[in-house]
Structures are given as structure tokens and as C-alpha cells.
């Protein structure tokens, strides 16, 4: 898999897009789901039942030491935080279920979000288990393979001409007009979204007993990345960890404002030129011309002395294959962008022997 310079070779084809076992989940929590969706019951009972669903199904994902990846890359003590164990196969379930819980508590009857795929499936599942109507906005120029899953969960799909940013705007405007719960990033729910992703940090801390030297995360809008950093900041502030990990961001080659701003040393994230952003089957979960929580992510990189790096489609496919063959995890190629940023930096400037964590998104077959 590698040449003499530790570069990966041999491209191969993968079906992109995470997936989950929805029917199995519905069966496992059927009693709680019936209570949560029963609008005749007291709200306290519905909330308690939904909290049981979250506790049993979301988070506490696998954490493994990747000894074979260590041998391939020459970097010791790499740990993989595999978010594929969540209901729909990605970390998006963490925030989707938190928002559905909040919508239920505040007595909303409809929740809406714009998506390029994974977040839409997560929110559709979370809403269906809460007995809440879900309206998913999908940009017209995206062709996600997860539409069928979204529809199977009872969500309504609205196609919006243009890109993801336009879909977010349309979804948020309709939420304001119809008094729906707005689950999109960048709004009034930002603090909750960051807190939900902070759960990843707490679980890493539980495994290691301290913060690692660095945490590598794939970035798109920057919400997950900023949330992981916020979680570690909370742990460090409370004296639970001896240090803050360096935050490492990886994204599609020249197609993300966060990585672009970090590499060019710009003071803030600047929008990229939309016409120059080309979607592929691999990079679709990562690309943006406008990163909604980009400045929060950029701040996290700089305040922790972290770094950012680009990842080509070819390398993301190759690392996905490497992880599958050497560690037995079926991961979404785009989610390897953080690992690539970590490894490439180590190749150019060798990192000290320590503990390094990589957050990965799953793709269940």
C-alpha cells in the first residue's frame, strides 16, 4: 500500500455515503418510541422515553488503537474514534437527536434542516422517533444516495435550486415563516450543537484519562470540529485534563474556507468562489464555499497551536481502503481527511511519540 516515501498508492472504487440499521433501531426502542410519539401523554413522559432512546442508541462509539496504521505511517499511538457506531453511521446523530429532544421539549411539531445527505438522514431518524414532522431541504446540484433513506423515515424532501448554502437559507426562512424548529447550523442553536459534538471529547477523555496530543477531525462547516474543541476546553478548564489537544483539520483539496484560511494565514474565514467548487462522490460531505461555523473552527486551530491540511479524493479513497483492510473499519472516504492532515504533517515535521486521536465516520454495508 505504500511506496518508499510512505505515500499510499493504488486507487480503488468505494460507494460513498454512510448508512444505518433503521428498522433494527425502531425494533429495539419500539416501546419508548410509542410513548414519545403519543401526543396524548404528558410531555414529561414523552421526554423521559426519548432520553432513554438517546442513552441507548447515540454515542459511546468505538475507540481503538490503530497499530497497523501506525506501522504504515510511522506515527505511534494513533487511536480511531469510530462514529460509525451511531444509528445512521455518523457523528451527525449526536446533534440531530439533541435537537429533536429540544424540539420535543419546546413543543414544536415540525423540524427542518438543509443537508447534502448524512445530516438529513440523522435528523429524519431522530424526528421520526420523537413523533415530529421533518422537512429536509436538499440543494438541487447535489445527488446524495441517502434520499431513499430519508424518505423511508417519513421525512418530506424539498429540492432547492443551487447549492447547500442556498438550501440552508431556504430552510431557515421557511422555519421562521412557519414557526418550525430550525436545526440548521449557524443559528440560535449553535451552543447546543457544539455541546452535542463535545460528547466526542468526553468519550475520548474517558478512554485515555487525559487529552491526547492532537485530535484530527474532517471539516465542512466546522461545527463538529469546534464542538470537539469546546468539549476539551471544558474538561481542561475543570482540571480534568493536563492539557489541550492540538486541533487538526482536514478537508477536500482547495474546497473548504476553514482549511484555506488556516493555510493562507488569513485572520478570518473568507468565502471561496462557488463556481470553482466541484462536487465529486468523494468530497461531497466536505466541500463548501461558505463555512457557517468556520471562524469558530479557525479559532480552535489557532488557540490550540493546531494545523490544517488538504486531502485529495485519491488519498481519501486510499486511506479509507487502508483502514478497512488493516483495521477492519468501513469508513466514509471523506472522513479520512483529518487523518491525512495529521499524517502529512508528521511526514514533513515528525511528531513526538505521544497519543493521537482521529475522528472517523462510518459507512455500514
Domain with CATH 3.40.50.1100 in the chain: 25-52+92-182, 59-90+189-360
CA distances from 295 to 39, 151, 257, 262 (A): 40, 34, 9, 10
- State the burial class of residue 187 (Cβ atoms within 10 Å of its Cβ: 0-12, 13-18, 19+): middle
pLDDT at 1 (0 to 100): 41
- In degrees, rounded to 5, the angle at the alpha carbon of residue 290 between the alpha carbons of residues 297 and 168 is 105
Could you tell me the strand order of the sheet in which 133-139 lies? 156-160, 133-139, 110-114, 181-182
- State the burial class of residue 237 (Cβ atoms within 10 Å of its Cβ: 0-12, 13-18, 19+): exposed
Paired residues of 274 in beta bridges: none
- Report the C-alpha gap between 81 and 7 in whole angstroms: 23
Both ends of the chain: CA-CA distance in Å? 23
Going by C-alpha positions, the residue among 25, 62, 28 that lies closest to residue 327 is 62
pTM value is 0.89
pLDDT at 20 (0 to 100): 53
pLDDT at 26 (0 to 100): 64
Q: Which CATH class is domain 25-52+92-182?
A: alpha beta
Going by C-alpha positions, the residue among 73, 164, 156, 79 that lies closest to residue 115 is 164
CA atoms within 13 A on the CB side of 344: 21
Q: Average pLDDT per run of 10 along the chain, which is 365 residues long? A: 37 40 70 93 97 96 97 96 93 96 97 90 96 94 77 94 90 97 91 97 98 97 97 98 98 96 97 90 89 96 98 97 95 96 97 97 62
- Using CA of residue 340, residue 65, residue 335, residue 231, what is the dihedral sign? negative
Strands 181-182 and 214-218: unpaired
Fold of 59-90+189-360: Rossmann fold (3.40.50)
Amino acid at each position: 500500500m505504500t511506496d518508499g516515501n510512505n505515500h499510499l498508492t493504488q486507487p480503488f472504487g468505494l460507494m460513498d455515503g454512510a448508512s444505518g440499521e433503521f428498522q433494527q433501531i425502531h425494533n429495539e426502542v419500539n416501546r419508548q418510541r410509542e410513548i414519545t410519539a403519543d401526543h396524548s401523554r404528558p410531555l414529561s413522559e414523552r421526554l423521559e422515553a426519548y432520553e432513554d432512546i438517546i442513552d441507548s442508541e447515540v454515542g459511546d462509539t468505538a475507540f481503538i488503537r490503530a497499530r497497523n496504521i501506525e506501522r504504515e505511517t510511522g506515527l505511534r499511538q494513533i487511536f480511531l474514534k469510530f462514529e460509525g457506531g451511531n444509528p445512521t453511521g455518523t457523528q451527525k446523530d449526536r446533534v440531530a437527536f439533541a435537537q429533536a429532544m429540544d424540539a420535543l421539549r419546546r413543543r414544536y411539531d415540525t423540524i427542518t434542516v438543509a443537508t447534502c445527505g448524512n445530516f438529513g438522514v440523522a435528523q429524519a431518524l431522530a424526528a421520526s422517533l420523537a413523533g415530529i414532522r421533518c422537512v429536509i431541504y436538499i440543494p438541487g446540484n447535489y445527488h446524495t444516495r441517502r434520499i431513499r433513506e430519508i424518505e423511508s423515515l417519513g421525512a418530506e424532501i424539498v429540492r432547492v435550486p443551487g447549492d447547500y448554502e442556498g438550501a440552508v437559507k431556504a430552510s431557515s426562512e421557511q422555519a421562521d415563516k412557519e414557526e418550525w424548529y430550525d436545526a440548521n447550523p449557524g443559528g440560535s442553536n449553535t451552543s447546543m450543537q457544539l455541546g452535542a459534538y463535545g460528547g466526542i471529547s468526553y468519550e475520548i477523555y474517558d478512554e485515555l484519562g487525559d487529552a491526547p496530543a492532537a485530535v484530527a477531525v474532517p471539516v465542512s462547516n466546522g461545527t463538529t470540529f469546534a464542538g470537539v474543541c469546546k468539549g476539551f476546553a471544558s474538561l481542561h478548564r475543570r482540571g480534568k485534563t493536563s492539557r489541550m489537544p492540538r486541533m487538526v483539520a482536514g478537508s477536500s483539496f482547495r474546497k473548504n474556507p476553514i482549511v484555506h484560511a488556516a493555510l493562507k494565514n488569513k485572520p478570518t474565514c473568507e468565502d471561496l468562489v462557488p463556481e470553482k467548487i466541484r462536487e465529486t462522490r468523494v468530497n461531497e460531505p466536505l466541500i463548501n464555499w461558505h463555512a457557517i461555523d468556520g471562524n469558530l473552527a479557525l479559532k480552535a486551530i489557532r488557540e490550540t497551536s493546531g494545523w490544517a491540511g488538504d486531502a485529495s479524493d485519491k488519498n481519501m479513497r486510499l486511506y479509507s481502503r487502508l483502514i478497512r483492510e488493516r483495521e477492519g473499519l468501513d469508513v466514509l472516504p471523506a472522513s479520512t481527511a483529518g487523518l491525512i492532515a495529521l499524517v502529512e504533517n508528521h511526514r514533513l515535521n515528525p511528531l513526538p511519540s505521544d497519543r493521537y486521536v482521529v475522528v472517523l465516520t462510518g459507512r455500514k454495508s
